[in-house]
Amino acid sequence: MVEKETQLHSSKVNDLLILFMAFLYLIPIFFSENIYLNAAILILAFLNILLLRRINFKYLLYFLLIIILPIFSVFITVLIYTKGAGATPVIGYFLGFAIRELAFENALFLTVRAFSLSMISFIFLLAIKYDALVFSLMQNLKLPVSIGYALLATFNAFNYMKDEFLRIQLAYKMRFLKLRFPLSLIFPILVSASRHAHYTGLSLESRGLNSQKTFSEYFFWKKKDTLVLFINIVEIVLIVSLFIIKGWLGIRLS
């Protein structure tokens, strides 16, 4: 008989709450037609997640640098190819190109929406602890342990590939006295990852996975998590209600 340990995880909030909050903030942006509402939801999401978790701002800065070009491409593409823009007034010129009012509004709106969706998704990805999330899904939402441990093995595989890359790169530097990333390093990394996946699968099968699986650490959903989720829902409802009352919800630039 396996003794069941009851060690509770000491995190401030459940990672399942962070996942719910991510969807909570993404939904109104999908339905919003107002740029300022999208920006307000993004700011609110950022402030609330800072109250709950530490964010690695270095990774956030890297992500901003990466998405600058795609976001700018969205803006230019919509600005050029918006249908029906020819019938609207010209609001300016750029490099000899006439900027139409409708095209500019559509381009700015879709750019802000894409930026808001990208930032909210990435901020919550940085805030989530993936191992804790999977354990919480298994313990609170009854996710089958066979699926849960497969997800854990997948997340661990990414860390393993990162460590393996650093080891191979160090060996390459010691041998050739220079640090670089030749394409030839990809093959040994993939071979090591395949071997790691094989051993992980054998380990999971030999240990046996079933619904009676016990855990050394528990991630229970608490009243505090319910309260935080309720507060976030109220904040979003209040902001959206304000835009509805003012008649701004369907107006992109007003």
Shared domain check, 137 and 151: no
CB atoms under 10 Å from CB of 24, counted, come to: 20
Answer yes or no: do 122 and 83 share one domain. Answer: yes
Cα dist from 139 to 134, 220, 230, whole Å: 9, 7, 22
**Does residue 125 belong to any structural domain of this protein?**
yes
Residue 125 to residue 232: CA distance in whole angstroms: 18
Q: How many structural domains is the chain composed of?
A: 2
Render pLDDT for 41-66 as a digit per residue (tens, 0 to 9).
999 999 999 999 888 899 999 999 99
Read off the pLDDT of each residue in 70-91 and give the average, rounded to a whole number.
85
Residue 62 near residue 75, CB atoms below 8 Å: no
- Whether residue 127 lies inside any domain: the answer is yes
Query: Burial code of 44-64, b = ≥16 C-beta within 10 A, e = fewer?
Result: bbeebbeebbebeeeeeeebe
Same domain for 41 and 86? Answer: yes
The answer to whether residues 145 and 210 touch, using CB atoms and an 8 Å cutoff, is: yes
- Classify residue 2: in a domain, yes or no: no
Contacts of 74 (CB under 8 A, 6+ apart): 107, 110, 111, 114
Summarised one tens digit per residue, pLDDT across range 199-224 is 777 777 676 665 566 677 788 899 99
Q: Give yes or no: residues 202 and 231 share one domain.
A: no
Domain assignment present for residue 167? The answer is yes
- What is the residue-averaged pLDDT of the chain? 82
pLDDT at 125 over 80: yes
Locate 141 and state its tokens. 């939402």
Question: For 117-134, what is the mean pLDDT?
Answer: 91
Domain residue limits at 200: 145-210
Please indicate, yes or no, whether residues 40 and 128 belong to a single structural domain of this protein: yes
pLDDT digits (tens, 9 = 90+) for 150-188: 788 777 777 777 787 778 777 777 777 666 666 667 777
Res 1 pLDDT > 50: no
Same domain membership, residue 82 and residue 18? yes
- Position 5 scores a pLDDT of 44
Query: Which pLDDT belongs to residue 3?
Result: 39
SS3 letters for 14-30?
A: CHHHHHHHHHHHHHHHH
Bigger pLDDT: 195 vs 253: 195
> What is the Cα–Cα distance from 194 to 161, expressed in whole angstroms?
10
* pLDDT score of 181: 62
Where is mean pLDDT largest: 79-83, 150-154, 230-234? Answer: 230-234
Q: Are 76 and 40 in contact (CB under 8 A)?
A: no
| Cα–Cα distance measured from residue 135 to residue 35, given in angstroms and rounded to the nearest whole number | 37
Co-location of 177 and 194 in the same domain: yes
pLDDT of 194 over the 90 cut:
no
**pLDDT tens-digit series, residues 86-114:** 778 878 877 777 788 888 888 888 999 99
Asked whether residue 180 falls in the same domain as residue 101, the answer is no
Helix (H, G, I), strand (E, B) or coil at 213: coil
Q: Residues for the chain: how many in total? A: 254
> CA neighbours within 13 Å on the CB side: how many for 48?
24
249 with 160, same domain: the answer is: no
- For residues 114 and 60, membership in a common domain is answered with yes
Same domain (yes/no): 127, 168: no
Q: How many CA atoms lie within 13 A of 122 on its CB side?
A: 17
